[in-house]
Structure 1
Amino acid sequence: FGLSVVNIYFEDGTDVYFARQVVGERLAEARGNIPDGFGDPQMGPISTGLGIILYFRLDDTSGTRDLVEMREIQDWIIKYQLQTVPGVTEVLSLGGFEKQYQVRLDPDALLAYDIQIGDVIGALERGNKTEGAQFLEIGAEQYTVRGVGLARSVDDLAEIVVNVDDGRPVRVRDLGEIVIGGGVR
């Protein structure tokens, strides 16, 4: 997952609403060139060069939190609280490391089990998702049925079955190690 942001600055005196219309037209043209799976580009709200009104820094004076945990606090707690403030249109996180579950595969194990990297990726995708289902009607009540299968820990990911070898399941843990790490920046 990634984020791509393009900021467009206009000269003073430019009719911003007309310029926005032109940018919107170019954006519509560009949509056809974006590969599937990369999302749909969105145009943000009009703002000025003075639109950024606050920078803040998160410090761990106890020294017990790493940069992954600090970023997680920013992205999942502070950001949502700031977005409830009237007039705040965006809270952008910089610094720290985004939390990632990283699978570090052992090439020798892949060879021994005759498993390709794509097989591991496919198993991880299938074993870490939520699926919608139908409704269950009991009397006048209607219940939504869904399968929740999101991994919540390193152990959950380690137990995902990639293949079966002579009746024995080959799990992700058999092919390497799974660790929590920070994303590349």
Structure 2
Amino acid sequence: MPSIPQPLDPHDDGSAAPAVAAALASYQDGTADATDVLTALSGARLLVPVVALLTESEVGEHGLRQEKESEMALPKLVGKDGRQAVLAFTGTDALVRWRPDARPIQASTLQVCQAAVNEQAAAVVVDVAGPVPFVIEGDVLAALAAVESGTLDQLADVTVARVEPARKRRWFSRR
């Protein structure tokens, strides 16, 4: 049986990270590009929705159909072309705008990207109902998922560079 993961931050109030909200607003205004949004998202917490899915029902004493069993499910968005996307939200306001009955699970952006690749989804759609929708797909999605799984060096056509910490330099000398 799957277990519910521990929250990344038990004191999280569910609001969007200010840097992420600012990057998305700038992206919408045209003063920032996708790289700026991805930079803001790279260390951010996202909320992945989980919804109840009816698996079995029965007719009750009053002749009405009622829930007997349900399971929690990760919903996916399916495009007109049949491609699937995992949904993620920057905060509870954006989650409730999409679906008020969804329950949030905290995950890092990298974890969400890895989950999308594992689910064979073509994209991650952030804040699908707004205020500013953003899509992570293609090579960027694959690279972010590979960073999380530690397999970035196995991706074709990706250059992996190791950045060493700068040595302290003296820019002046004492006499």
| TM superposition score category, shorter chain reference | under 0.3
Q: TM-score, normalised by structure 1?
A: 0.24
Largest Rg, 1 or 2: 1
Would you tell me which structure has more strand in proportion to its own residues? Answer: 2
Q: TM-score, normalised by structure 2?
A: 0.25
